Structure formats: structure tokens, C-alpha cells
Amino acid sequence: MALSIAARSAVAGQMRASEAASPPLVTPEACARCEAREVSVCSVLSGDDLARLSHISVVSTVGEGETFITEGDPADHFFNITAGTAKLYKLLPDGRCQVTGFARTGDFLGLAAGAVYVFSAEALEPVRFCRFARSKLRGFLRDCPEMERRLLDLARNELVLAQEQMLLLGRKRARERLASFLLSWQQRAAPGPGNRLMLPMTRTDIADYLGLTIETISRTLSAFKKTRLIAQTALSELIILNGTELAAIAAGDR
Amino acid sequence: MALSIAARSAVAGQMRASEAASPPLVTPEACARCEAREVSVCSVLSGDDLARLSHISVVSTVGEGETFITEGDPADHFFNITAGTAKLYKLLPDGRCQVTGFARTGDFLGLAAGAVYVFSAEALEPVRFCRFARSKLRGFLRDCPEMERRLLDLARNELVLAQEQMLLLGRKRARERLASFLLSWQQRAAPGPGNRLMLPMTRTDIADYLGLTIETISRTLSAFKKTRLIAQTALSELIILNGTELAAIAAGDR
DNA sequence: CGCGATCTTTGACCCAAGTCAACCCCGGAG
DNA sequence: CTCCGGGGTTGACTTGGGTCAAAGATCGCG
């Protein structure tokens, strides 16, 4: 990631030197170097198509806490996360929040949108992404069925996850929800040294993702620690000691 | 619907007469007559493509209570509902059930699946559908980008609904959930005479959809009746008297 | 290095919805 | 017409997780 951020900075630097008003367009070379490519939609693209795509994409970064997609705004862009973690969420008028997912490197955002975005996205740590204008992407897709197929696969996979989450929110108990979350996050997040699990989100984010409160998250984590299912190495860093048992809890088997 | 069922029966009749072992293949003429076409994926197809699609589709019907997709089975087929209503659901090992959606005429099933189905589908009333082998559809999609685009649109729309449902399950109170459900069902279901809303599902199905119990559904419906938000004309048939107020409740505004 | 802000943990109490149980209603079979 | 069985409704009571409150970590910053 350090390498990649350096590469990105170089691109932004180029841009700034040549034309400060226009956004930092991506060069095919930058795409070829991008270490997020193999986990992104772009992985299916041949050199030729990749070059075309790079010309309609714009790289940017946002800092921690910044909102880069706002529910209700015209859904003019798609986003491909190339570094960092973001939370995706929906709000009720009175402020109640449901986090619908966490987006990481390689995730493609904007599929779940009609004319306007139906969710907001906020960076949990510095996030870098490629942005595509919806109108331009449409033209690209016309000539590139592989990409369209890939997007369909992504959307289908997201649907599978969404339904799994409905089961969790509708029918699982608090401890089952948290166990499910820890295991699924372990799947998706690169494990740190010593099998450490990094959680870039706050307890509030986890609570809003699992349909619980921060107090319940805290209490349940403490219970998991007491029964030696997990160990906490830092506030946002823990180790899963007994994944088998956690999986049994997640499935509702005890 | 009556006409359509008759048409289907004719097709099945032909089939049975000629070759009992093989399934009832659809003829292009049957597709042209199909009154579910305009609301289905097939609506985007030209006559030529429609004819091709018809040759890889198989019509069948299932009776009330029959399960025609089983979670965990190899996901070999896609389904396009052409009549009736089905519930889609997931189960936990101990039997807890989450209904992830109700499928009606025009709905396309099987997008949310990897190698195996991740949900089950059961007919709530007699259901008719066209079934496509996944392998055959893949070949068809290769030559028919409109269809692929349409499937992507369908998947995206389902994703929007899924996220809305996550908000409901994670953050809404019982009365807000029920109000949301009644209004969304009113949107999708053809209104009966006198603005009547037909509910082909049982209280149990509604409860499993909203992450509640039948008792809570029953009590909340009674409360809505008492405050004259709705009126009940039969066990599974009601009228929305005050949609504005229901919408305010659904949004969490009171 | 120590201050203040923010996040987390823990405890005491409460309540929305779940559980358990009795009864009702309706529709189909005999 | 009556019986029977499977929803559906309603009431009494319980409870898992929410709410409120206070104290304890953690971290950025001057």
C-alpha cells in the first residue's frame, strides 16, 4: 500500500504541475502499476480496454471522516476503492443510522443506486479511489461486455451478502451477530502480524452495522474475551483465539 | 392471469401429448402472448432474441406450499415468475427463518446465488415460471448484451431494496416496519377493487420478513385498525385508509 | 508530559417486543 | 350441521437488549 500511495501521489503531483483546475486523470501506466487492480473490476480488462478505462477515470483521496458519497445526491459517478476503508450507511430522518457495509480496496461503489445514491459513504481512514462518470462508463460498457459481466457478478455477490445480512439483522441474537461480523471481517481484511485483526471502524460503526448499540457491542466483546474466544491487543485490534467456537455461535448453534 | 394460465396449460398439454419425459419447452408464440412479458426481463428482447430465449426456457407451475428453490442446492437455473407469488427465505440451523423477499409476476430469481442457491423459494399461491439453465443462459447472454444490461439493472434494483430492508431490520421499530411493508406491498401488488390490498402471505411470513413475531404483527395491525390507518375487509385483505400517516410512521417521523 | 476530547467499558434500570397460553374464527370434511 | 384443525387474536408475564449515567482508556496536541 505504501508503494501504491507513493505512485498515486506522483500522479497527483503531475496533474497539479500541469493543470491545477482539471482533475487528476489516470494514465494507463498508473493503472498497470496499481496494486489494487488484481482485486478490482479492472482485473478482467485487457491492456487496450484498460487504457480506455483509465482515460475516463479520475483518482482522488479523501481523509478520515470525510463523506464522499451522500444519500440523495444525483448518482453521477461510480467509485472503485484502491486503498483504505469506508463505511456505507443509510439514515432515518431522526438520525438513526444503518451501516449497510464496509468498503475496502477493490470494492466497487455505486451499483446500488438509481437516479440518486441510496446510501452515503464516509472514509474510516484515508481512502483513495478511481471515479468514473456514469455517462462515460455507459459508453465504455457498450464496447466491453467483459466489464459488464464483471459488474453483474459483483452485484450478484453483493446481493448474496445483503441477504446474509438480512438474516443477521432479522433473526440473530447479539452474540451471534458479533461473532458473524468478526469472522466475516477476518475473511475480508488482510490479517496483520500474529493473526491480528485490525478494525478500522469504531464501536459505533459496528453497532450501526449490526443493528445494536455500542454498549451491547462492548459488553458482548467483553464476554467473548472472558470466555477466551478472542483477545484484545489494542483498542481496534484483536486476535481470534477460537474461530471454531465463534463460527458455531455465528450459526446460532449455541 | 386466467388467460395466461390457460395458454400455459395448452403448452403443457402439447408437451405431454408428444413427449412426456421432456419438459414443456416454450414456443416463441407463447412468449409473444405472455402477459408477464412486459414486466419481465424479456421485455427488452427483439423478436429474434425472444425466439432464441424461448428455446432455452422451460415453463412449469408449482402449487401453494411447494418449494421450488432450495438453499444449498446447486444453482443450475434462473427463474422468471410469470404468475403467482412466492416467498424467498433463508434458515438458521435451529429453524429461525428470515424471509428476504416476496417474488411476484415479472420477478427474476437466482441472481443472488453463487455455485449454490443461498435462499429457498416457496409458492404462496400457485406459481408459474419460466426456467433457464444457467449454462444455456450464459451462451445467450454472450450474444445479447441488452439482456445482460437488463439483468444488471435488475440486480442493482434488488440491491437498493436489500439495503432499504437492512435499514428496516436494523433500525426501525415494529410499527415502522409494518407501515413500511404495507406501503411497499401496495406499490408492487396490483390493487384489487375498492383499493383493496391482497396479502397472499400469512402473518408468519410477514413476521419472518420483518424480523418480528406473529403476535407483534397481529397486535400492530390491530393498533393500526383502532387508529383507522387501515381497515380489514377479510383475513388477508385490507384497505389503507391513511397512507400519508402510514408513510410518516414508516419513515420514523412519529 | 499532561490536558482535554473522544471513545470505551461497566453498572443499574427500563421497556419494546418476545414468550407462553388461552381463546376465537373460519373453512373444509364428513 | 357439526366437528376439527390451522391460522389469527388477545392477554399476562418475561427478557434481551436499549437507555441512562458515571467512570476509565486512549490519543492527538500544545
DSSP class of B191:
P
A133-139: average pLDDT: 92
Q: Contact A111/B155, CB-based, under 8 Å? A: yes
Give the phi and the psi of residue B123 in degrees, each rounded to 5. Answer: -70, 130
Dihedral of alpha carbons A101, B164, B179, B106, sign = negative
Q: What is the pLDDT of residues B16-54, one digit of tens each?
A: 333 344 556 677 777 878 888 888 988 888 778 888 888
Which triple of cell numbers denotes residue B103?
A: 417474488
Q: A25-29, A207-211, B45-49: lowest mean pLDDT where?
A: A25-29
Pairs of residues, one from chain A and one from chain B, whose beta carbons lie less than 8 Å apart: 135
pLDDT given for residue A181 in this prediction: 98
Using CB atoms within 10 Å of the CB of residue B187, give its burial: 0 to 12 exposed, 13 to 18 middle, 19+ buried: exposed
Nearest to B111 among A148, A156, A169 (CB): A156
CA atoms within 13 A on the CB side of B237: 9
In angstroms, the separation between the Cα of residue A10 and the nearest Cα of chain B is: 35
Residues of B in contact with A177 (CB under 8 A): none
3-state helix, strand, coil split of chain B in percent (to 5) is: 50, 25, 30
What domains can you pick out in chain B, each with its CATH number? 2-167 (2.60.120.10), 172-250 (1.10.10.10)
Q: Looking at the complex, does the CB of residue B248 fall below 8 Å from at least one CB of chain A? A: no
Average pLDDT over chain A reads 88
Which triple of cell numbers denotes residue B160?
A: 437498493
A77 pLDDT tier (thresholds 50, 70, 90): very high
Q: Contact B92/A251, CB-based, under 8 Å? A: yes
pLDDT given for residue A50 in this prediction: 87
Best B87, B97, B98 member to test A by mutation, with max A CBs in 10 Å, is B98
Q: How far is CA B118 from CA A140, A193, B253, in A?
A: 32, 34, 35
Q: Looking at the complex, does the CB of residue A172 fall below 8 Å from at least one CB of chain B? A: yes
Three-class HEC string of B68-131:
EECCCCECCEEEEEEECCEEEEEECCCCCEEEEEEECCCCEECCCECCEECCEEEECCCEEEEE
B150 CA to centre of own chain: 17
B79-87: average pLDDT: 96
Average pLDDT over chain B reads 88
pLDDT given for residue B204 in this prediction: 97
Proportion of chain A above pLDDT 70, given as a percent = 90
pLDDT given for residue A24 in this prediction: 64
Tell me the C-alpha distance between B207 and B217, whole Å.
6
B11 pLDDT tier (thresholds 50, 70, 90): very low
B204-227: average pLDDT: 97
Tell me the C-alpha distance between A130 and A132, whole Å.
7
